[in-house]
Amino acid sequence: MSERFNERIAIVTGGVSGIGAAITERLLREGAKVVAVDINETAVAGVSDAFGAGAVGVVADVTDEAQFSAVIDRAVDEFGTLDALFNVAGGSKAGSLLDISYEDWDFTVKLNLYSAFLGTRLAARRFIAEQKPGAIVNVASLNSLVPMHFGVGYTASKAGAAMLGRQAALELTEHGIRVNTVSPGLVATPLTAGLREIPGVDEAYLERIPAGRPAEPSEIAAAALFLASDDASYISGDNLVVDGAWATTGYPDLRRFLG
């Protein structure tokens, strides 16, 4: 394993499970120190045991500006600086355009878009204050490009997160701050397990994915770390789709399973 992130300091939101945990683990293997953020107190309490001494766990709601700001401060207090931010925290409440409640829409948009906005702005301000370069990677979704039934809040907020990355790149690249997005397709995580266990759903997904399988979280982590590394020094404003060619075929109609 390379040491592309040797002695660099990174924050990973949603950093203790799924894609976030894979990013945390790989950053540590490549020499970084990591602040892994999650709202789940039990999961955060086990960060040192799960990842080792190079990781610090922080409990925070990253849709709250004051709490996210405190995370940035904790990283600097603990390790002296900040070099990279991975906005991974996300999720959704399912619903269609005509039926989703305001509360479920608000929850989904805040978790997927507000958190990315807050993290991007706060990290960028820190980089500029320290007069140093930095890298920000937002984890969006194939749904930033492709709609799906029962996903109006998720698709809209993930598309917003991807465009936020492009807007931020326009504004921040001149400061030496690169902002990019990774958009995964189906990934084998605890977050997707419940949906995939519904009879017929997994088969409906896999028949649309030319690769014939979901991604492993480590495969998304590899793409995210590439975009944050010096290997991608001239890449900013990109939305890298990591989907096993799924975008070429489109989503299955899940109404036959969930309607």
Catalytic residue among 154, 205, 234, 251: 154
- Provide the β-strand partners of residue 177: 134
HSE-CB of 4 using CA atoms within 13 angstroms: 17
Q: Helices (DSSP H) in 59-189: which residue ranges? A: 65-79, 102-109, 115-129, 152-172
Q: Does residue 154 carry a catalytic annotation? A: yes
HSE-CB of 105 using CA atoms within 13 angstroms: 9
Contact 252, 204 (CB under 8 A): yes
**Separation between Cα atoms, residue 23 and residue 90, nearest integer Å:** 14
- 148 is written with which tokens? 């799906």
- 229 is written with which tokens? 């590394």
Give the sign of the dihedral formed by CA 51, CA 56, CA 58, CA 63.
Answer: negative
Catalogue the active-site residues.
Answer: 154
